[in-house]
Homo-oligomer: A and B are copies of this chain.
Amino acid sequence: MSNIFGNRLKELRDAKQIPQRQLASFLEIDTATYCKIEKGDRRAKREQVIKLAGVLKTKPKELLMLWSADKVYDIIAEEAEAVQILNVVAENIVIYKKEKR
């Protein structure tokens, strides 16, 4: 699996020497749950990601990007034409943004 979000989380947490227990209580969840989030066994909720960015003093954008990237990765990793899928999506986003104006 990919889990770039969880990895980054651990990186930041280690750098600040904060135990999982502390972040868990901050998010008001079990340490087990937090552990799973970090390992990629569970997905954090969007608001939790933002909260974490706050405590870890990172930009929410950074974490949200990694968090979303993991979700996308899970979808396309199984597919043969993974990279092509990304291209299709990219094209459509551009189109959508054009129409939006």
Chain A residues with a Cβ under 8 A of chain B: 2, 4, 61, 64-66, 68-69, 71-73, 75-77, 79-86, 88-90, 92-93, 96
Judging by beta carbons under 8 Å apart, are A88 and B75 in contact? Answer: no
Judging by beta carbons under 8 Å apart, are B81 and A4 in contact? Answer: no
Residues of chain B within 8 A (CB-CB) of A69 are: 85, 88-89, 92
A92 touching B75 in the complex, CB below 8 Å, given contacts A68-B85, A84-B65 = no
Q: State A90–B75 Cα separation when bound (angstroms).
A: 13
A76 touching B84 in the complex, CB below 8 Å, given contacts A2-B92, A92-B4, A96-B2 = no
Within 8 Å by CB of A93, from B65, B71, B73, B93, lies B73
